[in-house]
Amino acid sequence: MYDKLWLRYAGESQKKNARRVILSCGEKNNVLNAAITELKTVFSADAITVDTEAKDAPAGEGFLIRNKGGALAVSSQTGAGVLYGVFTLLRLLNTGRIDENFVQIADSPKISWRILNHWDNLDRSVERGYAGKSLWKWDDLPKIERRYVDYARIVASVGINGSVLNNVNANPIFLTSEYLKKTAALADVFRDYNVKVFLSVNFAAPISLSGLSTADPLDDAVRLWWKNKAAEIYALIPDFGGFVVKADSEGQPGPYAYGRNHADGANALADALSPHGGIVIWRAFVYGHGETDRAKKAYTDFKPLDGKFRSNSAVQVKNGPIDFQPREPVHPLFGAMKETSLFMEFQITQEYLGQGEHIVFLAPMWKEILQFGIRFPDEDSENQSSVGKVLEEKKLSGVAGVSNIGDNYDWCGSLFHSANLFAFGRLSWDWTLDPADIALEWSVLTWGNDPTVVDAVVKILTNSWEACIDYMTPLGLNHIMRYEHHYGPDPGCDQGSRADWKPPYYHRADARGLGFDRTRNGSDAVDQYAPLVADIFNDIKTCPEKYLLWFHHVPWDYTLRSGRTLKDELAFRYRRGVGEAEQLRAWWRLVKGRVPPDRYKAVLDKLDAQVADAHEWEAVCVKYFLSFAERA
């Protein structure tokens, strides 16, 4: 057995809800059947009525829940909409938000594609995974396990509708006929929950799998190979989502080898998928090739290609310009590519944030990015839009999250880490939601409605991200973790064959000050943003202090808004972070005796490790950085 996460209503009680439920759906399919099955965990079968005449019901994935003569009615034109409506109904019931005064709620996703990216390998290892092995047992497939069904239930319950099964550092074997049949078996399971499967593909697959001499995207033989491969896939999986591609990045093959650009590469695959309704998601995580500031590389490569990508392709951009750091400014591409569909890429797994050991709720980070007021270069102060709105208005709208799921009992690495999976789904569905409300929902659904427990859990979640920033990377510091595994502090690390794999590249500490100068006097990364945003970041007096060391090389004696100099503020922030980590643990200790002992201890062990690590971060980083200040 394994943990039920936030679906703890299932099988928890033999007492069924006495109310009647009416499902109105414009189609009858297995997705509707899955919705009915889910309802039966809470309602008696004879209390559920199904009406296939869904008049005036929402279309697509939208739904309406209303009070209909004392019954709870869920309606949609589609089985998918009814399924999402049922999961919402159960969530509302279990959090006490449906009472005798309930009238109705209508909802539909603001973002069309809400996708999990599994960085899972053929041998069941998971790159940047901290929750055990991969769920997918490729050696046993197409044999299906119950856990695959529950995976689909879990992700569908928070509105996720796509799953990329394999690592972006893709093994070409996933495109062979043998493995496509295994993928089809998973697709057959996920389809009942409106989850489409995607595959990460290796750009050089035509060479490695078919012996072609080239993978040039403009070569006729290569284009025919991709066309035939797409036809083979869709014959097995008619609703296959499409391809995800990491190209010309960290050793992965790509179009640059043939003198082509990223649009050329994406379009060759998009053309192969287009007749079948599939999409290509082309990742913008690129760096190197002569750029002196890694933060500028993706913009430099992709901005000139705006408008040159096919309509069934999207460029997937990480939330910040470097690499899933504890805090980054928003990626400038979101304010630069008006004519190209963009997907946001978040990382649910905590690669740089304490991994499976630290409890860090990431919804506030994601919301900070999604609500950032981005501007395009030709817009004035009255014309701006949040990043979330920019995503929402694209022809293809999408948010992708690097999964934190593994085969551990608890799915995500700890009893608290599933909060990030839950939050990713909820914010992907509606990016305007309040992270505190999401934390409250998850707390009640996962831990019950004891007010003391709920209060402690919500406080831990909503304060954990800022605490992590304080004890790891305050004031815009970034990428000062240990080499390769990215866990723990090592700001002086000199390992790695590239300068931009080493922490000193990012923090630039010297006797004069600290931070990477990205102003117009430095690398000029600020001017990848629209002028009004660039001006704010460029001026040390207006730059938000949370990004200060990201954009400025700041003198040690510079006075911050607190009245403290940089060197004193840095020591203060690290010390405060330790105190905040200790406070997270103190809140949890208040619930002793109110939650099962094994669950209490499992969380306490994580918080003990987090406090110990926070002390290490403070000791290492303060000593290291202030040693430069002492030379001034």
Active-site residues, by number, are: 250, 323, 351
Specify whether the CB–CB gap between 420 and 414 falls below 8 A: no
Helix (H, G, I), strand (E, B), or coil: what is residue 159?
coil
Under DSSP, the state recorded for 166 is S
Instruction: Tokens for 20, please give them.
Output: 């009647």
Cα angle for residues 631, 294, 359 (degrees, 5° grid): 80
Q: How far is CA 90 from the centre of its chain?
A: 24
- Alpha helix (H) ranges present in 256-414? 262-273, 297-302, 363-370, 387-392
Gap between the Cα atoms of 322 and 294, Å rounded? 7
Helix (H) / strand (E) containing 347? strand 342-347
Q: Which amino acid is at 471?
A: Y
Phi then psi for residue 198, to 5 deg, are -125, 160
Categorise residue 235: left if φ over 0, alpha if ψ from -120 to 50, beta otherwise.
Answer: alpha
Gap between the Cα atoms of 465 and 589, Å rounded? 19
Helix (H) / strand (E) containing 428? helix 418-429
Based on DSSP, count helices (H) and strands (E) in the chain, helices before strands: 18, 17
Gap between the Cα atoms of 625 and 544, Å rounded? 21
Phi then psi for residue 272, to 5 deg, are -70, -35
Cα separations in angstroms, 218 against 212, 255, 268, 515: 14, 9, 7, 43
Specify whether the CB–CB gap between 356 and 413 falls below 8 A: yes
Residue ranges with strand state E in 246-341? 279-283, 313-318
